[in-house]
Structure 1
Amino acid sequence: MKAIVFTKYGSPEVLELKEVPKPTPAAHEVLIKIHATAVNDYDWSMIRGKPYPYRLMFGLLKPKRQIPGMELAGVVEGLGVNATSFKVGDEVYGDISECGFGSFAEYICIDEKALIRKPENMSFEEAAAIPHAAMLAMQGLVDIGKIRNGAKVLINGAGGGVGTFGLQLAKLYDAEVTGVDTGEKLEMMKSIGFDHILDYKQEDFTKNGQRYDLILDAKTNRSTFAYARSLKPNGTYATVGGTLPRLLQALCLRPWISRFHKKNIYIVALKPNKNLSYINELFATGKVKCVIDKPFTLDEAAEAIQRFGEGKHTGKVVVSVQHAPTA
């Protein structure tokens, strides 16, 4: 089978499209014929081996896992002896990060608990775009943020996957939503319904005097005190990712800000696939749609990941996996 492989850390140029052995499922695994995958922060960090603390997970001197990718949509082609959740031919999707990586390939074997059935009305590309970003948005806004009807919400890094799903989920609560990003993303953000749009290159939302009930942050590139300043009393800040020093700062300052400023600071510890069934319902009724960047194929994976890393994408970066027709 074909797969995107890297054997050393570096820019996405280290990625190679290679022939590798097709895997065989272990007892609780299923063999998936992958039709689409997506790019995430983990892929960008894994390939570069940066930030360096991540190498404790990925491998100190060279990558332990040589095929990136943590989201997929595809078809069940084989079952392990103890796999009972699916049957051959089922269309499935999910965030597989708790069970492994390796979705930049034609096939993968993964624990069946990492997957759910894909609705018929959802394309493979749409399904690959949903699990990680939609769950971060859902858990940040609803589970942790406890969003209320009519809330005033700000999303930092609003032009990516988390931001586009976050807007749609917040609008279910009639929230007034401000999105912060820059470049080509601004026009897209306007088109999908953000109430207010800020270009961070032109304006710092932490200094403009506005206060929010809830901030969902996909960047975490400012001081925790700056974020707290932008919250209303008893407001909540929830970060789903960003620079490691800022995340550590948020973790350390959280008790102090809660006690003395009466504002809530949280780092979202993602529970993969937890609310996907609910997202399926929203998708079926047209309340949630996927915003997908320009199309990429597996042999364009390096370009797709570079585009993601440079922040030039709009919505989710999805990679379609084309299979040669069988005889």
Structure 2
Amino acid sequence: MKAIISKKYGSPETLELKEIARPGLKENEVLVKVHAASINYGNIVLLRGKPYVARLAFGITKPKFLIPGGDMAGIVEAIGEKVTEFRIGDEVYGDLSGSGWGTFAEYVAVSDQAIAHKPSNLSFEEAAAVPMAATTALQAIRDKGRIGTGQKVLIQGASGGVGTFAMQIAKAYGAEVTAVVSTRNVEIAKDIGVDHIIDYKKDNLANLNQLYDVIVGVNGSQTISTYKHILKPNGIFVHVGGSSSQMYKTMFIGSWVSLFGKKKFVNFMQKPSKKDLVFLKEIIEAGKVKPVIDSSYPLCEVSKALKYFEEGHSRGKVVITIH
């Protein structure tokens, strides 16, 4: 099979497209013929080995996972003898970031606990865009933000992969959603149907009079004091992504603010969840959530796709087509 191989940390140019043997199959695994994968921030961390603390999980001196790629959608090709939930020919999708990665390849062997049946109303390319980004948005809003019907939610960095899902999931939970985007991305927020849109190129969040129950910093570029200013007395700020400095500020300054007040600042890292994949399938098939695709690249152009993703201008998800 063809696969993208990562032998050392570095730029996208370090990746190689090679012909290798198909993976073997364990008794609790499923062999999936991958039709599409997608790119997330975790792919950049795995590629470059930065921040360096990530190397504790990914390999100290070189990548522990030879084939990168976390999200995927495809068709079951074979099943291990202890697998009962899936059959050959089933359409599935999943997030393999917690179980060996490996989706930038024509085939992948994966635990049956890392995948779920694919939403029936999505193409393989659309389904591959869902797992990691949508699960991140769901867990940030539901678990950390403790969202409730009628609450006011602000999504900073709403036009990227996680942000486009966060807007829709917050709406699905009955929240009043405000999206913070640049001028070029206002139309995406309008198409999704959020309640309010802030163009950060024109409006300063520090000058807002509105207060929010939950702020999700998908790309949190504001100061802690700005977020504190626009949070309700019992509000919660959830840092999902953005610069390392923003993460550390939330971790240290935010924790200090949380310790001596009712407003809470929390960092968040997504955890792969089969249960959440099943839930996302349900709300996607109900028409409440739909992935936004920015662009699509073939497997042989993964390096080019990663370069584009790193520029930070993608609107929605960047997808890799394989079969």
Q: Same fold (TM over 0.5)?
A: yes
The whole-number CA distance in structure 2 between the counterparts of 1:201 and 1:4 is 38
**How do 1:82-231 and structure 2 match up within 5 A?**
82-182=82-182, 184-231=184-231
- Corresponding residue pairs, total: 322
The structure-2 alpha-carbon separation of the partners of 1:316 and 1:239, relative to structure 1 and needing over 3 Å to count, comes to same
The answer to which of 176-185 and 40-49 deviates more is: 176-185
Native 8 Å contact 2:165 2:289 kept in 1: yes
The answer to which of 238-247 and 14-23 deviates more is: 238-247
AA of the residue aligned to 2:44: W
Measure how far apart 1:249 and its partner are. Answer: 3.3
Question: In the alignment, what sits opposite 1:238?
Answer: 238
Native 8 Å contact 1:184 1:312 kept in 2: no
Native 8 Å contact 1:145 1:214 kept in 2: yes
The whole-number CA distance in structure 1 between the counterparts of 2:146 and 2:103 is 33
Question: In the alignment, what sits opposite 1:315?
Answer: 316
Measure how far apart 1:138 and its partner are. Answer: 1.4
Native 8 Å contact 1:217 1:240 kept in 2: yes
The structure-2 alpha-carbon separation of the partners of 1:113 and 1:182, relative to structure 1 and needing over 3 Å to count, comes to same
Measure how far apart 1:28 and its partner are. Answer: 1.8
**Residues 1:292 and 2:289 aligned together:** no
Question: In the alignment, what sits opposite 2:41?
Answer: 41
Measure how far apart 1:133 and its partner are. Answer: 1.4
The answer to which of 137-146 and 255-264 deviates more is: 255-264
Native 8 Å contact 1:185 1:314 kept in 2: yes
Could you give the per-residue CA deviations for residues 67-102 of structure 1, whole angstroms, max 9, x where no partner exists? 211111111112223333322211111111111111
Measure how far apart 1:104 and its partner are. Answer: 0.5
Native 8 Å contact 1:234 1:264 kept in 2: yes
The whole-number CA distance in structure 2 between the counterparts of 1:256 and 1:64 is 36
The whole-number CA distance in structure 1 between the counterparts of 2:280 and 2:48 is 32
The answer to which of 148-157 and 54-63 deviates more is: 54-63
Native 8 Å contact 2:73 2:91 kept in 1: yes
The whole-number CA distance in structure 2 between the counterparts of 1:307 and 1:209 is 36
The whole-number CA distance in structure 2 between the counterparts of 1:210 and 1:120 is 39
Root-mean-square deviation (CA, aligned residues, Å) is: 2.1
Gaps in structure 1 of 5+ consecutive residues: 323-327
Measure how far apart 1:118 and its partner are. Answer: 1.4
Could you give the per-residue CA deviations for residues 23-81 of structure 1, whole angstroms, max 9, x where no partner exists? 11123221111011110111012112222222222223322222211111111112223
The whole-number CA distance in structure 1 between the counterparts of 2:207 and 2:169 is 26
Measure how far apart 1:128 and its partner are. Answer: 0.8
Question: In the alignment, what sits opposite 1:267?
Answer: 267
Could you give the per-residue CA deviations for residues 94-143 of structure 1, whole angstroms, max 9, x where no partner exists? 11111111101101111111011113322111211111111111121122
Native 8 Å contact 1:185 1:313 kept in 2: no
Native 8 Å contact 2:183 2:201 kept in 1: no
Measure how far apart 1:175 and its partner are. Answer: 2.9
Could you give the per-residue CA deviations for residues 214-272 of structure 1, whole angstroms, max 9, x where no partner exists? 10111234443432222111011112233334323323345532342211222234232
Percent identical among aligned pairs is: 47
Measure how far apart 1:291 and its partner are. Answer: 0.7
The whole-number CA distance in structure 2 between the counterparts of 1:61 and 1:255 is 32
Measure how far apart 1:310 and its partner are. Answer: 1.0
Native 8 Å contact 1:184 1:314 kept in 2: no
The whole-number CA distance in structure 1 between the counterparts of 2:42 and 2:130 is 16
AA of the residue aligned to 2:307: Q
The structure-2 alpha-carbon separation of the partners of 1:200 and 1:44, relative to structure 1 and needing over 3 Å to count, comes to farther
Could you give the per-residue CA deviations for residues 289-322 of structure 1, whole angstroms, max 9, x where no partner exists? 1111122211121122112111121111111112
Tell me the TM-score normalized by structure 2.
0.91
The answer to which of 47-56 and 286-295 deviates more is: 47-56
Question: In the alignment, what sits opposite 1:325?
Answer: none
